[in-house]
Structure 1
Amino acid sequence: MRLLYAAALAAMLSASADAAPIRLEGGHYVTQLQVNGGDAFDFVIDTAASASAFSPGFVERLGLQPVPGMTAHVHGAAGIETVPLYRLDRLSGPDLELTSVIAAVMPGVASDRPTAGVLGVNTFQQSRIVFDFEAMTFETGASGAGAQGFQALAATRLRAGLVAVDVQVNGVPVKAVVDTGARRTIGNPALMAALGVSADDSRLAPAPDVGGATSHRIPSQVMEGATVALGGRDFGDLRLHFSDLPVFRALGAGDQPMLILGTDVWSQLSALAIDYPRNEVQVRFR
């Protein structure tokens, strides 16, 4: 999960009638975009990144130079860093056309990572976006009611343009951030407390540290067999991680339970749509 506040970003988006192919790689949904009309690179479509960003390896490969006098505060899941901004003339794909793209670099991403960067929600704020997990396509379009078979869920707008929906975890109500850039589902300490789980609970096991766009890492624990209820459907036998991530406070959770709902859950749907102007998440079950 990556929460990115860029100091500046200029991008013009146009949508075509063609859906873009996607694939699930490393727990992220990836699409290919042409850079300045030339080679195609993999970009993660990240609904929990407020702004688009580039990986260090992509910046090095293209020999991009920082925009003079421009920096950004990158709020990753685990911490904050100040980084330079870079400019690209054009990013294009079957369903996207971005021009004059100014984006931060992600200091926590290894230089040899295969993806070139992330597409953040600033790209889609005026659109309805659709992930079709059966056809493995992604498309953008005009705001409007979901197609037949979609169930509409009211969404809460969080800081930096992110959205959350109401779910239940083992029967406990919680706000869940819609995060297609997270490979695992993570709850905050307030959710642990609401579930009656203590830090030394025998149901918990050590788990890999949680990172993100910055170089910070935060310890985590995992509990097996959790159930998430979304739109009247239960998604059971879930590996639920817990971590005291700064991003929860940045999103205004305070002492309230909050969940980052990752692709381990979303990929179990037939399709997921987010209509930003309508403040609506639309789901289609298998």
Structure 2
Amino acid sequence: YRHRFIVDSGADTSVVGLRIANSLELPLGRPAVLHGMTARNLVDRVHVEELSLGTTTVRNLQLPALREIDLGGEGLVGIDALQQQRLMMDFEKKTIKVEDARVVRYKPLPGEIVVTARRERGQLILTHVRARGLSLDAVIDTGSEITIGNLVLRDKLVRRRGQPLEVIEATGVTGATMKLQVAIIDELQLGPITLRNVPMAFADVPPFKVFGLADQPALLIGTDLLDTFRRVSLDFKARKVRFQLRRCKDTGLIATMSHTTSLLRLSSTGTADVCGR
């Protein structure tokens, strides 16, 4: 059976929708605590004999079964199914391509910028990241529409400066909501890439603890920032994140963010060919 799943690089487990679980009569597994973006919940799980993603098949899984209205799709692909994969997100064509990194050789993009990550509990964690000159760890989270920093990062970046914070509400995959504080951060560096005037939300959401990032400045980079690039590749096997900038314009790049409208300008300390062709 083919289904439309959301790819969530910030989720430590895949998820199936309740309609799929019921229609396929998937047997119940053991309940487990799900660490969602907005809450920790005890959820029912079902046994899935195999989950195929492109040419790769993951077998013998126990996956949470959640409502499709909360997931935003028929299911969710987490990092348990991405361990040996290469994920290419093309934001100009609005496509996601998944390849088996053990089989398909990678073809470099023109002018791509490569940032090496470390592996932690299956997740890629970027260490060459700075916000206002402060070093921090970051995770690419394709399942989040907004970039979120933890409260340790908020206190170091915002509170010490007395910068005002706005409040927004976010909804997670279990339907739970929570309040997030939002501020504009004037500079965020991802390796040699510099992003300016970046809207950033703040909250101690459960994924920080899951990935061992609760006690130091850390960031979950959401699709609001990823969408400002032309392409972003996550190579879980090679521990590399590759960025390709959008085509250059004299005025720089301008994007409009959800919840907060702001100018977001990108530049690079690398060579002049970093812009996509």
Structure ranking higher in strand proportion: 1
- What's the counterpart of residue 226 of structure 2? 266
1:264 aligned counterpart, secondary structure: helix
Q: Report the residue type matching 2:235 in the other structure.
A: D
Per-residue deviation at 1:122? 1.6
Q: Deviations over 1:212-258 (max 9, x none)?
A: 23454432111135432223222223221011223322322243100
Change (3 A) 1:191 1:131: same
Percent pairwise identity: 26
Indicate whether 1:142 and 2:101 are aligned.
Answer: yes
Q: Deviations over 1:118-147 (max 9, x none)?
A: 111121212322222233331313256661
- What's the counterpart of residue 123 of structure 1? 81
Equivalence map 1:70-85=2 (5 Å): 70-85=30-45
Structure 1 unpaired stretches of 5+: 1-34
Change (3 A) 1:106 1:184: farther
Whether the 8 Å contact between 2:21 and 2:65 is mirrored in structure 1 is: no
2:196 aligned counterpart, secondary structure: strand
2:89 aligned counterpart, secondary structure: strand
Whether the 8 Å contact between 1:146 and 1:152 is mirrored in structure 2 is: no
Q: So what's the TM-score if we normalise by structure 2?
A: 0.75
Q: Which of 138, 142, 147 pairs up with 1:176? A: 138
Per-residue deviation at 1:267? 1.3
The CA RMSD over aligned residues, in Å, is 2.8
Q: Which of 271, 275, 278 pairs up with 2:238? A: 278
Change (3 A) 1:245 1:102: same
Structure 2 unpaired stretches of 5+: 247-277
1:70 aligned counterpart, secondary structure: coil
Q: Deviations over 1:240-283 (max 9, x none)?
A: 10112233223222431000100011111121112222222122
In 2, Cα distance between equivalents of 1:239 and 1:63? 42
Q: Which of 57, 69, 79 pairs up with 1:98? A: 57
In 2, Cα distance between equivalents of 1:206 and 1:55? 30
Per-residue deviation at 1:158? 2.3
In 2, Cα distance between equivalents of 1:169 and 1:112? 32
Whether the 8 Å contact between 1:42 and 1:114 is mirrored in structure 2 is: no
- What's the counterpart of residue 123 of structure 2? 162
Q: Report the residue type matching 2:164 in the other structure.
A: R
Per-residue deviation at 1:190? 0.8
Whether the 8 Å contact between 1:169 and 1:227 is mirrored in structure 2 is: yes
In 1, Cα distance between equivalents of 2:158 and 2:51? 47
Q: So what's the TM-score if we normalise by structure 1?
A: 0.73
- What's the counterpart of residue 91 of structure 2? 133
Whether the 8 Å contact between 1:225 and 1:236 is mirrored in structure 2 is: yes
Whether the 8 Å contact between 1:218 and 1:245 is mirrored in structure 2 is: no
Q: Report the residue type matching 2:223 in the other structure.
A: T
In 1, Cα distance between equivalents of 2:72 and 2:204? 29
2:154 aligned counterpart, secondary structure: helix
Q: Deviations over 1:49-89 (max 9, x none)?
A: 122102334434x263443x533331212332232322445
Change (3 A) 1:251 1:66: same
- What's the counterpart of residue 12 of structure 1? none
Aligned length: 241
Q: Which of 53, 73, 89 pairs up with 2:15? A: 53
- What's the counterpart of residue 229 of structure 1? 189
Q: Which of 164, 167, 177 pairs up with 1:206? A: 167
Per-residue deviation at 1:181? 0.6
Whether the 8 Å contact between 1:218 and 1:244 is mirrored in structure 2 is: no
